[in-house]
């Protein structure tokens, strides 16, 4: 689906609001990758699909950061504010164990109340990602409200869908890790009616009543003694316009900073995880040995090193899968020539922080790769007969 010059196309997104790390993009790493989440989530039409190809119109970008929220590999990074700045601003506006994050259209529409109230501002609620919310919980924030107006009348209305998905994911994580956090999206102000002073006054009173209601939740019941990471040895290359293959034949690996922060916050804020989670943040890779031809191309294109080659001294070889490092980008599934890979949407919560490893032993290929007779032997296998070489 991606164009041959996907790297050049993404340059159009780079701005004061969005940083571009091209080598992380699954489209840049493999033009046959299926990921187009940024185009699907873009609230302004800056990133879109035109005749099946990625198209960027930089003039339409409003800097909402929704594309960065949905990007599984953090190839797009929100700036102005950065994640660290947004976390600091949100904590600075906290009231007890509660914080409110409001979208800019809402603040501008009912400004007198919202600016007098303690809240943090974002261009669109699509800017809020899971790592931010769990980091707030790790800092003993027990109630988070994402406030927006009626998105049907907002130009960035797609950001609400992203925010709802993020909230749903965080609720699942909090349940698995037994984190005491109440997070919700608060909506309902008709932005198109706020030109009427009486309607604006009613809106301000409505929000004032809502944000002042309710008792504080009790503090967190338990905090982890130490953080355990899935993998910490992922190789992080220097940002470059040229993507270089490493000595082992794979493209460079990295673990997105947002994922590292999320893992740390989960370990510090919660107790021992239980059950399975299905959030879309992680995937569990299953390789069908009956279909697999042992090419191990999945490890070549895996961005985070969640899939890695192993070659033992006894001659056994195959692929190691680290579920905790998976970002569910589906690069492995897209590149597999044998359609031998299935990515389960759910995984055991314990796999995420414990560094669990799944081992897939493979059989020798019928035709060896990088052999001078590779083409000849492939033809022999295809016709089930002999081919004579001169």
Task: Determine contact, residues 19/64, Cβ cutoff 8 Å.
Answer: no
Are residue 19 and residue 71 in the same domain, yes or no?
yes
Please indicate, yes or no, if residue 351 is contained in any of the structural domains: yes
Are residue 132 and residue 61 in the same domain, yes or no?
no
Domain limit, last residue, from 78, 99, 128:
78
Range of the domain at 340: 235-253+272-390
Cα maximum dimension of the chain:
92
Bridge pairing between strands 358-361 and 317-321: antiparallel
DSSP annotation string for 72-120 = TT--EEE-SS-HHHHHHHHHHT-BTTEEEEEEHHHHHHTHHHHHHS--E
Please indicate, yes or no, if residue 223 is contained in any of the structural domains: no
The domain total for the chain is 3
Are residue 321 and residue 390 in the same domain, yes or no?
yes
Task: Determine contact, residues 256/129, Cβ cutoff 8 Å.
Answer: no
Are residue 37 and residue 183 in the same domain, yes or no?
no
Task: Determine contact, residues 308/299, Cβ cutoff 8 Å.
Answer: yes
pLDDT of residue 208: 55
- 225: which residues sit within 8 A by CB, 6+ positions away? none
Q: How many other C-beta atoms are found inside a 10 Å radius of the C-beta of residue 92?
A: 10
pLDDT tens sequence for the chain (390 residues): 444 455 566 677 788 889 988 888 898 888 888 888 998 899 888 888 777 677 888 888 888 999 999 999 999 999 989 999 999 999 998 988 999 998 888 887 775 555 545 688 999 999 999 999 999 999 999 999 998 876 666 777 788 999 999 999 999 999 999 999 999 998 865 444 444 556 555 555 555 555 555 433 333 333 333 334 444 444 544 445 566 777 777 888 888 999 999 999 999 998 888 899 999 999 999 999 999 989 999 999 999 999 999 999 998 999 999 999 999 999 999 999 999 999 998 999 988 888 889 999 998 765 555 555 666 656 655 666 665 555
Nearest CA to 296 out of 260, 329, 320 is that of 320
CA atoms of 193 and 205, how far apart (whole Å): 15
Are residue 23 and residue 73 in the same domain, yes or no?
yes
Please indicate, yes or no, if residue 362 is contained in any of the structural domains: yes
Are residue 62 and residue 48 in the same domain, yes or no?
yes
The set of long-range contacts for 308-316, using a CB threshold of 8 Å and a minimum separation of 24, is 309/248, 309/250, 310/359, 316/361
Are residue 242 and residue 365 in the same domain, yes or no?
yes
Domain limit, last residue, from 78, 93, 124:
78
Are residue 56 and residue 196 in the same domain, yes or no?
no
Are residue 136 and residue 280 in the same domain, yes or no?
no
Are residue 155 and residue 58 in the same domain, yes or no?
no
Q: Taking the model in full, what pTM does it have?
A: 0.81
Please indicate, yes or no, if residue 225 is contained in any of the structural domains: no
Please indicate, yes or no, if residue 186 is contained in any of the structural domains: yes
Domain limit, last residue, from 78, 93, 112:
78
- 310: which residues sit within 8 A by CB, 6+ positions away? 317, 318, 319, 320, 359
Are residue 97 and residue 169 in the same domain, yes or no?
yes
pLDDT of residue 114: 53
pLDDT of residue 277: 92
Please indicate, yes or no, if residue 260 is contained in any of the structural domains: no
Please indicate, yes or no, if residue 30 is contained in any of the structural domains: yes
CA distances from residue 264 to 124, 138, 154, 261 in whole angstroms, order as listed: 26, 9, 35, 5
CATH number at residue 30: 3.30.70.20
Backbone angles phi, psi at 33, to 5 degrees: -65, 150
Please indicate, yes or no, if residue 326 is contained in any of the structural domains: yes
Are residue 103 and residue 241 in the same domain, yes or no?
no
- What Rg, from alpha-carbon coordinates, does the chain have? 24
């Amino acid at each position: 689906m991606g164009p041959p010059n996907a790297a050049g196309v993404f340059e159009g997104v780079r701005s004061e609001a969005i940083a571009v790390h091209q080598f992380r993009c699954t489209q840049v790493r493999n033009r046959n990758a299926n990921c187009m989440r940024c185009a699907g989530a873009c609230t302004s039409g800056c990133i879109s699909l035109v005749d099946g190809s990625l198209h960027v119109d930089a003039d339409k970008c409003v800097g909402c950061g929704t594309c960065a929220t949905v990007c599984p590999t953090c190839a797009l990074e929100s700036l102005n504010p950065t994640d660290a700045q947004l976390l600091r601003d949100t904590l600075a506006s906290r009231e007890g164990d509660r914080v409110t994050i409001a979208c800019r259209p809402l603040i501008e529409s009912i400004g007198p109340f919202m600016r007098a109230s303690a809240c943090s501002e974002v261009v669109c609620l699509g800017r809020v990602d899971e790592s931010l919310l769990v980091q707030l919980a790790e800092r003993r924030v027990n109630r988070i409200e994402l406030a927006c107006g009626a998105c049907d009348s907002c130009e960035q209305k797609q950001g609400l869908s992203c925010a709802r998905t993020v909230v749903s994911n965080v609720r699942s994580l909090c349940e698995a890790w037994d984190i005491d956090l109440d997070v919700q999206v608060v909506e309902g102000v008709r932005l198109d009616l706020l030109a009427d002073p009486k309607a604006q006054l009613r809106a301000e009173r409505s929000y004032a009543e809502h944000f002042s209601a309710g008792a504080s939740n009790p503090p967190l019941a338990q905090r982890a003694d130490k953080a355990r990471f899935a993998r910490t040895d992922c190789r992080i290359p220097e940002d470059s316009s040229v993507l270089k293959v490493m000595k082992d034949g794979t493209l460079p690996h990295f673990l997105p900073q947002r994922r590292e922060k999320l893992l740390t916050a989960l370990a510090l804020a919660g107790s021992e995880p239980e059950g399975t989670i299905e959030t879309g943040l992680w995937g569990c890779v299953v390789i069908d040995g009956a279909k697999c031809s042992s090419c191990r191309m999945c490890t070549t294109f895996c961005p985070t090193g969640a899939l890695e080659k192993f070659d033992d001294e006894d001659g056994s070889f195959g692929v190691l899968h680290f579920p905790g490092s998976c970002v569910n980008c589906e690069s492995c599934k897209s590149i597999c020539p044998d359609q031998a890979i299935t990515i389960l949407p759910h995984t055991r919560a314990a796999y995420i922080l414990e560094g669990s490893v799944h081992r897939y032993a493979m059989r020798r290929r019928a035709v060896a790769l990088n052999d001078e007779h590779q083409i000849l032997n492939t033809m022999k296998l295809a016709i089930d007969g002999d081919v004579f070489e001169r």
